[in-house]
Amino acid sequence: MARWIEPVTLGGDTVTLEPLGAQHREALAEACVDGDLHQLWYTFVPGPETVGDYIDTALHGREHGGEMPFAVRDNASGTVIGATRYCHVDEPNRRLEIGYTWYAERFQRSAVNTECKRLLLGHAFETLDAIAVEFRTHWHNRASRAAIARLGAKQDGVLRNHQVSADGLYRDTVVFSIINLEWPAVRQNLDFRLRRGVR
């Protein structure tokens, strides 16, 4: 029996999302040190020495947890510049989350994130017939919160003391979502922004 979420390659003008695999290890190790992303305390990006474990965990989630991890490839250079994922998949209720997203610093504040989300949202709503797509981020990750809001997602609320980090700090998680009835307007806005080169 086919699963709801299957590996797929999603291609756009700026980026291509391809199923994550061991072959992406070296490129992701280079991407994560661009901006020292692995040193950010309010999010999780692997370091160059932990990329292998990061990929193994993502692939385990794909095989056993219904997740679908992607490597993000810059079309102009052909370089893998980051990763993203469908996660927390709730197949009976046709809901999923887009998360674990990060890009090398030189590709941040560009059209990359807008197009990645356009591709993922389009596949979720138009191919998978999802009824809702969630986004979650740390309360202190203000850049991520602003980027999610720019997509057209609405804030559902804040999960207080949602998680305990490795260093014992409590994380408040901000939850956003886009529902299927909102997708046509969100899609129109994302397409408009991509045509205008607005991030």
Helix axes 183-196, 111-122, angle to 10 degrees: 150
Task: Please report the pLDDT score of residue 41 as a whole number.
Answer: 53
Task: Please report the pLDDT score of residue 183 as a whole number.
Answer: 98
Class of CATH domain 10-196: alpha beta
Task: Please report the pLDDT score of residue 36 as a whole number.
Answer: 56
Torsion angle in degrees (nearest 10) through CA of 36, 42, 45, 50: 90
Task: Please report the pLDDT score of residue 3 as a whole number.
Answer: 85
Main-chain phi, psi angles of 13, to 5 degrees: -75, -35
Residue of 75, 88, 95 whose CA lies nearest to 10 = 75
Task: Please report the pLDDT score of residue 75 as a whole number.
Answer: 95
Q: How many CB atoms lie within 10 A of CB 53?
A: 11
Distance CA 193, CA 171 (A): 32
pLDDT in tens, the chain (199 residues): 468 999 999 999 999 999 999 999 999 999 988 755 655 555 677 778 889 999 999 999 999 878 999 999 999 999 999 999 999 999 999 999 999 999 998 887 788 999 999 999 999 999 999 999 999 999 998 988 998 999 999 999 999 999 888 778 898 999 999 999 999 999 999 999 999 877 6
